[in-house]
Structure 1
Amino acid sequence: MNEIIAYFSTIPSSHRSLILVGGITFFWLIENAFPLFHFKYKKWQHAGINFFLTFTTILINFTLAFLLLKASDWTIATNFGVLQCLPTIPLWLYTVIGLLLLDLIGAYLAHLIEHKIKFLWRFHLIHHTDTWIDTTSGNRHHPGESIIRFAFTIIGIVVVGSPMWLVFIYQTISVVSTQFTHANFSFPEKIDTIMSYFLVSPNMHKVHHHYKLPYTDSNYGNIFSIWDRLFGTFMYLKKEEIVYGIDTHSKPDENNQLMNLLKIPFQKLRSPEND
């Protein structure tokens, strides 16, 4: 455990980039070999849009990374946050508790609020416009949403009182988990069901990408599924019944054109069919 902490305390940016690129490459190959859905689409054109939005997310995160470091350093220096109030516990338990809380605030809560507050939904909506969910879809975020998510990450660090090594571990697991749960590959259903009791599984997350309510407003988790089960936002839908996209932006020129995707947050907000 100490070796892991030492590595993530000083993990180079090049290694973090390699994890991102390596994960996408790995799941890209898997989904090509064992696809869940046989999409009729231009995969590279679709990926090009998602790669551009991924790049903007990376650029924003690296530009503002110093704020994460300052927030973490402040919590440690002032003994602020949940982890700083804990009694002496095993390091592995300390890490698990920290990851659970960072996931709750930085992912689950952020995601839930983006769905409930209309102004934030305008930016998150771009993620839901994708009608061909594959491993590149995981980082399909409008630059505005990337900033919103970054803000929640800072809030999570402060509330949790997280050291920077734990933040880096969380972000690494989060990236791989996102690529895994969005990948268009056929995952054994029994394993998926068992997994979904503890972790967000591929089939569980894909329900969230169904084009209509109430499924769109469910399964907000990123790494741990316990938050959805605990707060009553878990839903199940047979994978054969899932239709990707969002019912407010069903036309290709709305959901598969980069320039329009960037403009959506500033266009008139549309009401979903089930509203």
Structure 2
Amino acid sequence: MESILNYFETIPSLHRSLLLVGGITFFWLCEGAVPLFKFNYNKWQHAIPNIFFTLTTIVINFGLAFILLQTADWVKENEFGLINWLPQMPLWLYAILGVMLLDFFGAYLAHYIEHKVKPLWMVHLVHHTDHKVDTTTGNRHHPIESVVRFAFTVLGVFIVGTPIALVFLYQSLSVVFTQLTHANIKLPKKVDKLISYVFVSPDMHKVHHHYILPYTDSNYGNIFSIWDRLFGTYMVLDREKLIYGVDVFPDEAENGRIGNLLNQPFQKYKKPTTLPTNETA
């Protein structure tokens, strides 16, 4: 564990970039081999707005990274934060607790609040208005949301007291799980269910992308499923019944245009005219 943390403490930017690109590439190929839905779409065309928002997220996180680094250095130097106030523990347990708590503040709590505060929900809608959820959907976040998510991560680092090694480890795991849980892949149901007892599985997260309540307001977790189970936000829906998108922004063509998506948080709700469907070839 010490060697792992030493690696992540100084992980090169190139390695983090390779993790992002390599993960998308890997799950993109898996989607072709074992698809959950056989979408009737141009996969490359669908990916363009999602990749655009991935790039804006990278730029924002890179531009604000010094805040994250300074916060992590400060809590380490001052032994501040929850995991630094606990009794001495094995390094592996320290790392697991740190990552789990960062997952709560940086992912679950941020996600939950985005669904409950209307201005933030309007921003978060950009993520939900993808009608063909696949691995590129994972980082489809409006630039405003990228800033909000970053702020929650910094808050988590401050409260939890995680050094930069755990922050980078958490972020790396978060990237992989985001790509996995959004990927249009079909795991055996028993395997997916088994995974969901500890981690967020593909089927578990896709319930969150169902187009109507109460399913949209469930399964907020990113890495660990414990938070949804603990706080009563865990829900199950048979994957054959999934319909992606949101009923208040039903126009798939508009929801695939970058300009419209950038403006989406400032638009008014529209009443749906037709029931969304997951088209298959």
Question: TM-score under structure 2 normalisation?
Answer: 0.95
Deviation of the 1:54 alpha carbon: 0.2
Residues 244-275 of structure 1 deviation map (CA, whole Å, 9 limit, x = unaligned): 001011112331111100001112256899xx
Residues 150-177 of structure 1 deviation map (CA, whole Å, 9 limit, x = unaligned): 0000000000000000000000000000
> Is residue 89 from structure 1 mapped to residue 115 from structure 2 by the alignment?
no
Return the letter of the residue paired with 2:187: F
Preserved contact between residue 208 and residue 220 of structure 2 (Cα < 8 Å): yes
Q: Which residue number corresponds to residue 268 of structure 1?
A: 268
Q: Which residue number corresponds to residue 126 of structure 2?
A: 126
Q: Distance in 2 between matches of 1:5 and 1:100?
A: 15
Q: Which residue number corresponds to residue 254 of structure 1?
A: 254
Preserved contact between residue 212 and residue 272 of structure 1 (Cα < 8 Å): no
Preserved contact between residue 122 and residue 269 of structure 1 (Cα < 8 Å): no
Q: Gaps (5+ residues) in structure 2?
A: 274-281
Preserved contact between residue 249 and residue 269 of structure 2 (Cα < 8 Å): no
**Fraction of identical pairs, as percent:** 62
Matches within 5 A, 1:33-48: 33-48=33-48
Q: Which residue number corresponds to residue 76 of structure 1?
A: 76
Q: Which residue number corresponds to residue 200 of structure 1?
A: 200
Change (3 A) 1:77 1:272: farther
> Is residue 19 from structure 1 mapped to residue 19 from structure 2 by the alignment?
yes
Q: Distance in 2 between matches of 1:184 and 1:77?
A: 43
The runs of at least 4 aligned residues of structure 1 exceeding 4 Å deviation read: 269-273
Return the letter of the residue paired with 1:23: G
Q: Distance in 2 between matches of 1:8 and 1:247?
A: 41
Change (3 A) 1:8 1:272: farther
Preserved contact between residue 250 and residue 272 of structure 2 (Cα < 8 Å): no
Change (3 A) 1:67 1:86: same
Return the letter of the residue paired with 1:19: L
Deviation of the 1:74 alpha carbon: 1.2
Q: Gaps (5+ residues) in structure 1?
A: none
> Is residue 236 from structure 1 mapped to residue 228 from structure 2 by the alignment?
no
Return the letter of the residue paired with 1:240: E
> Is residue 175 from structure 1 mapped to residue 184 from structure 2 by the alignment?
no
Local SS of the residue matching 1:252: coil
Residues 1-54 of structure 1 deviation map (CA, whole Å, 9 limit, x = unaligned): 111111101001110000000000000001011111010111101111100000
Change (3 A) 1:63 1:81: same
Q: Distance in 2 between matches of 1:210 and 1:23?
A: 24
Residues paired across the two proteins, number: 273
Matches within 5 A, 1:81-160: 81-160=81-160
Change (3 A) 1:194 1:20: same
Q: CA RMSD in A?
A: 1.3
Q: Which residue number corresponds to residue 166 of structure 2?
A: 166
Q: Distance in 2 between matches of 1:122 and 1:241?
A: 25
